[in-house]
Structures are given as C-alpha cells and as structure tokens.
Amino acid sequence: MLTIQLHHLIFFAHHGVHEEEQLTANSFEVNLDVVYDEKKSKFNSIEDTIDYVALYAIVKKQMKIATPLMEKICKEIISKIKKQFPFVSEIEISIKKLNVPIENFHGSVGVNMKRKFD
C-alpha cells in the first residue's frame, strides 16, 4: 500500500455555522492521506501514481465553497477524490479551524474523517 500525503495546507475560508464566521472568515488547516495498492505500478511517470496536484485542486476547490460544517467539507472532498480515483482504498482527512471564535479559547478545533473502500 502507498499513501499520498498532503499536510498542513492552509486556507482562508468562510466556513462556520455562526453568521460572524461566515462574514469574517477564518484560517483552516487541512491534512489529507490517500491510500492505494501500488503493486502494479512501475513508477515511470505520474500516470503510475496519484498526482498530488490533482488532490490539491480537489481540496482547494471545495475549501472555496462556504459550508457551515467541517464534516460536510470532509465528506465532499472524500467523495470527489473517490470519484476521480476509484482505485483508492482509504482516505483520511482532517480539517482544523485555527482561530476559534470562543472567548478566552486558545487552540484549534477540528474534525477527522476516515473512509475505507473495498
């Protein structure tokens, strides 16, 4: 098995359930792991693997769409990756909101979603 990783991707986006979050936006960190069986790959060209540029494009496009819940963003990204790369066996994604609008709160909040495919 081989894992393609895109980690510490930072986006500025208008995600959130509160009106203030939707207006002012926030910084988000995305971490993505995409797993597939590489046994038949010769690794002579980009066609022999999953192009991380294509994965980044999927994440970037979805992060531009204002969405109330990070869970929905994760689900949409996973769905789009699986559609484009049907041979993928596992996808794990985490999204963290870096500047949480909670008084006296220091840290981040986030979600992690993992899907395994047969």
Condensed to tens digits (0 to 9), the pLDDT of residues 70-79 reads 999 999 999 9
The pTM is what?
A: 0.88
Condensed to tens digits (0 to 9), the pLDDT of residues 19-74 reads 777 777 899 999 999 999 987 777 878 877 899 999 999 999 999 999 999 999 99
Cβ atoms 58, 81 nearer than 8 A:
yes
Is the pLDDT at 9 greater than 90? The verdict is: yes
pLDDT confidence of residue 42: 79
Describe the chain by its helix, strand, coil percentages, rounded to 5.
30, 35, 35
Q: Spell out the domains of the chain, with CATH numbers in brackets.
A: 2-102 (3.30.1130.10)
105-111 long-range Cβ contacts below 8 angstroms, 24+ apart: 108/29, 110/29, 110/70, 111/70, 111/71, 111/74
pLDDT confidence of residue 33: 98
